[in-house]
Amino acid sequence: MAEKMLKFISQSKAMPDKRKAKDRVADFGEIYADFNLQEAESQASRCSQCGVPFCQVNCPLHNNIPDWLMLTAENRMQEAYELSSATNTFPEICGRICPQDRLCEGNCVIEKGFESVTIGAVEKYITETAFEEGWVEPIKVTGERDQSVGIIGAGPAGLAAADILRRKGYQVVVYDRYDRVGGLLIYGIPGFKLEKEIVERRAELLEKGGIQFQLNCEIGRDVTFEELQARHDAVLIATGVYKARDIKLPGIGLNGVVPALDYLTASNRKSLGDNVADFENGLLNAAGKNVVVIGGGDTAMDCVRTAIRQEAKSVTCLYRRDRANMPGSQREVENAEEEGVNFQWLSAPHALLGDNDVRGVRARRIHLGQPDETGRQVPQIIDGSDFDIDADLVIKALGFDPEELPAMFEQKDLAVSRWGTVQIDWKTMMTQIPGVFAAGDIVRGASLVVWGIRDGRDAAEQIDAFIQAELRGETRQAS
């Protein structure tokens, strides 16, 4: 083992500098600075090069983390980049927005008492260095193939699949109903976590590598699913999940009560320079308003922090469990608190108040009771605990379900689960329809970017195997 490693005893954990809350709320720029070479080397050198690296086991892409940490510690950056990009299509994106505390870093087994290695920030550093040095190049196809694949959805799952298939020489067309490439990377996740230029830089590279994009094209409306099947040798469904979950409450139909993704999309479009009517007319703009966000996941955290940056008068997050039981990343909660968000833990909305426009939220306090069959404590309302919060904008961040794809695509044979997610054979990634594959959130339900990438890469390998089997005259059916 290189003598540069195992420095966790003498070298403490450090994250890249975080901008001060008062400065960062003034814009939508990312809040973490980049490591410099010396910081990246010294943080990478803390790794103890475990025989069984739990960091790698718990990374959905099984990135070869110990090896690229060692290469970084030895300043062999090009090799580090080659290794890290061999398993991850978008390492600069995962390095920024993976919930590392639940994945690689959360499972780093440096001896008890020492904090984990800073893996995500080093992954970002490696890839940003590679971009600066010109090592990240568009795909160069050595042998073009005649066969083509149609991919529905330009989010991380669709793009990761497109990248692998194009490298293998296939003609790849990605269809998306949005006008930009990236799915939730571009219109869901705010710039303070992932700047838009990072997504656009990747989209340009993919296009230069010969992947074709047909944007503003909704499959099922502008092009039928049959037409798509006729155009391509295989089809990948990577459409994500977009049906916002709702809540039944008196006053839920009042003006000023909006779904989270409408709100975030308007803000992201604004940052991208678009003219957004519902932002300009105030409907999806928090400026000067008392804002209440209902929900406790990462989407809720993105909404509260966006509202702070839009100069809301006050921002309150209403969540029915306590801080320890929040589904959102603890790091994001901490960031939100630093930025001035008021958390009302153990509180649930009871009614929305107002005549035409929302003027407030009546909420009740919650007590966490005995655990149910899932092991989570059941929230119970405390009688007589009503309290009111002023609100001119209420944002519903309650999660997402899949749209009804069999109806949308007029494909009654497309089997879906009782939650509406597309069913696949996990070995072949194929749906019940031969030659039609699926990947990402539409299969897993609302998940993570890194899982989308993993699924997209796996699906691409299976699509290749399917097409090659077809060419040999063998047929492969979903089991």
Q: Which residues bind ligand SF4 (CB under 6 A)?
A: 47-50, 53-55, 59, 61, 63, 65-66, 88, 94-95, 98, 100, 103-104, 108-110, 117, 119-120, 123, 450
Strands, E assignment, 153-254: 171-175, 212-214, 234-237, 243-244
Which residue type is seen at 182?
G
The count of other CB atoms within 10 Å of the CB of residue 112 is 5
β-partners of residue 389 are 361
- Among ligand SF4, ligand FAD, none, what binds residue 100 when CB lies within 5 to 8 Å by partner kind? ligand SF4
Site for ligand FAD contains 219 (CB under 6 A):
yes
Segment lying near ligand FAD (by CB under 6 A), choices 174-182, 246-254, 274-282, 430-438? 174-182
The CA–CA distances, whole Å, from 406 to 112, 220, 449 equal 50, 10, 24
Residue 72 CB, shortest distance to ligand SF4, in Å, is 12
- Cα 195 to Cα 33: distance, rounded to the nearest angstrom: 12
Cβ-based nearer residue to ligand SF4, 88 or 310: 88
Q: Give the interface size with ligand FAD as a residue count (CB under 6 A).
A: 35
Decide the pairing of beta strands 358-371 and 347-354: antiparallel
Q: Which does 53 bind (CB under 5 to 8 A by kind): ligand FAD, ligand SF4, none?
A: ligand SF4
DSSP string, 412-466: TTS-B-TTSPBP-BTTTTB-SSTTEEE-THHHHSS--HHHHHHHHHHHHHHHHHH
Contact between residue 127 and residue 81 where contact means Cβ atoms under 8 Å apart:
yes
Compute the distance between CA of residue 142 and CA of residue 218 in angstroms, rounded to an integer.
32
Choose the binding region for ligand FAD from 67-75, 183-191, 345-353, 378-386 (rule: CB under 6 A): 183-191
In the complex with ligand SF4, which residue's Cβ is closer, 173 or 448? 448
> Binder to ligand FAD among 65, 83, 161, 189 (CB under 6 A)?
189
Provide the β-strand partners of residue 357: 255
Query: Which region, judged by CB under 6 A, interacts with ligand FAD, from 131-139, 175-183, 340-348, 426-434?
Result: 175-183
328 binds ligand FAD (CB under 6 A): no
Of 58 and 224, CB closest to ligand SF4 = 58
Interface with ligand FAD (CB under 6 A)? 97-98, 152-158, 175-178, 183-184, 188-189, 193, 218-220, 238-240, 264, 298-299, 302, 440-441, 447-450, 452
